[in-house]
Amino acid sequence: MMRPIPRARRNTVPTSQWSSARGTMALMCAVLALGVWSCRTATGPCPAVSLTVTPNPTVVVQNGTRQFTAIGKDYRGTVVSTSASWSVVAGGGTIDTSGEFTAGTLDGTYSNTIEATSGNLTAHATVIVTSTPGSLFSITVTPNPATVVVNGTQQFVATGRDVNGNVVAIVPVWSVVAGGGVINTVSGVFTAGPAAGSFPNTIEATSGAVSGFATANVTALAPSATLNTAGTFSILAGSRVTNTGVTTTITGDVGVSAGTDVIGIPAGQPTLGSIHAGDATAATAQSDLTSAFNDLGGRACGTNLTSLDLGNRTLTPGVYCFNSSAQLTGTLTLDGQGNSNAVFVIQIGSTLTTASNAAVSLIGSAQAQNVYWQVGSSATLGTGADFAGNIVAQASITLNTGASLLGRALARDGAVTLEANAVTLP
């Protein structure tokens, strides 16, 4: 009698362990499904699952720079916001935290030397450093667009680059191809014509077969404010004029109205003018000052400079404004662009304050008589400041020790206070 063949022994898992493993897998699947589903139904992009660096590869001349960008994409290929840290891992130069690479002085191919890291994602790019840029590929003309007053001038600059963005030395020939004025074919200095308007791509710089263009916007001159009888005054106050310091010099009339006090003006001052303390001449000048103040304040603002320091800045003719206070630290340059009739209006919502030794520099034929500071409350010039223009203030004006003013200090309601100053009527 044959014995039955025994069944093969199977390894079995206790029911309790199998249930636990099955529960864990179910939980993982549920979490994954929930993440994918929430990502698919989210209004914004999903998390990045890939990272690339551009440009890659790229050629950079020795000591030249190149901006790299890290691009993250989600599982659908949609670009998502990515913040990357940068490093150079195989030589060739250095890179800063923004991704701007500076090439070294040794030619060579540096494979995958640029590294961008974002979370657990990493990407690389190759840099080829060379001592010689490639052939001219493009020309960029700056500024673009440029705003120039009628009959004013503007210097244009042309920069040549190869296909990789490296600077290529060029000697461009300049021309005007769509009107607006004329340009020096060698220097690139543009002179606007008498007609205002926008002239797209009218400035052309050419080197060989490559050209670059820029737009010129020619603007009409803003009308000068009409000071009328207030124009003969270098100092005009509403309440009083006070001076300390025997070295103060003033050219032009000094007046006050409705107040009557003019105190401390040195003997022999002012020159080329008279003192009008509460008389009819001063009253008429105050009336004209009010008209000028309102005219200047009512002009449309062309450029809002709120929260910016006026120092180390160059302004061209036009109307500028501050919603509240304005500060000048260092030197403000006003460029008339070759037009002696160019007008500058700076509207200030509250106070104007300059630091010690601050200055206003006039270039390009700009004239102090055509610069207007319309101040909503009070103006204060710091010690040793060298200021230019007509200060037209609602409240008071103070010139601290040694400050000089080529212009006028005209206060509607408050006092004008001087201390060893030079005030010259423009």
Give the mean pLDDT per block of 10 residues along the chain (426 residues): 50 51 49 48 74 96 94 91 94 97 96 96 96 94 93 94 93 97 97 94 97 95 88 98 96 97 96 97 98 95 95 95 98 94 96 98 96 98 98 98 98 98 97
Q: CA angle, 293 as apex, 292 and 298 as ends, to 5°?
A: 95
What is the separation of C-alpha 189 from the centre of its chain, rounded to a whole number of angstroms? 23
Amino acid identity, residue 314?
T
Tell me which residue of 95, 355, 341, 387 sits closest to 194, measured CA to CA. Answer: 341
Its CATH class, for the domain covering 138-219, is mainly beta
Strands 79-80 and 69-73: antiparallel
Tell me which residue of 148, 159, 209 sits closest to 183, measured CA to CA. Answer: 148
State the pLDDT at residue 168: 94
State the pLDDT at residue 8: 47
Q: Are 317 and 344 in contact (CB under 8 A)?
A: yes
> Which residue spans within 194-239 are E strands per DSSP?
197-207, 210-219, 233-237
State the pLDDT at residue 227: 96
State the pLDDT at residue 33: 43
Residue 30 φ/ψ, nearest 5 degrees: -65, -45
30 C-beta neighbours (distance < 10 Å), count: 10
Provide the 3-class DSSP secondary structure of residue 347.
Answer: strand
State the pLDDT at residue 35: 45
Domain extents for the chain? Answer: 50-130, 138-219, 228-424
Distance set, CA 330 to CA 116, 232, 312, 383 (Å): 40, 30, 6, 13
Q: CA angle, 31 as apex, 30 and 36 as ends, to 5°?
A: 100
Token readout for 414 is: 């408050």
Its CATH class, for the domain covering 50-130, is mainly beta
- Asked if domains 50-130 and 138-219 share a fold, the reply is yes
Strands 318-322 and 326-328: unpaired
What is the separation of C-alpha 122 from the centre of its chain, rounded to a whole number of angstroms? 35
Cα distance between residue 77 and residue 230, in whole Å: 69
Token readout for 200 is: 């797209």
Q: Are 419 and 245 in contact (CB under 8 A)?
A: yes
Q: Are 394 and 375 in contact (CB under 8 A)?
A: yes
- Whether the bond between 270 and the residue before it is cis, its omega within 30 degrees of 0, is yes
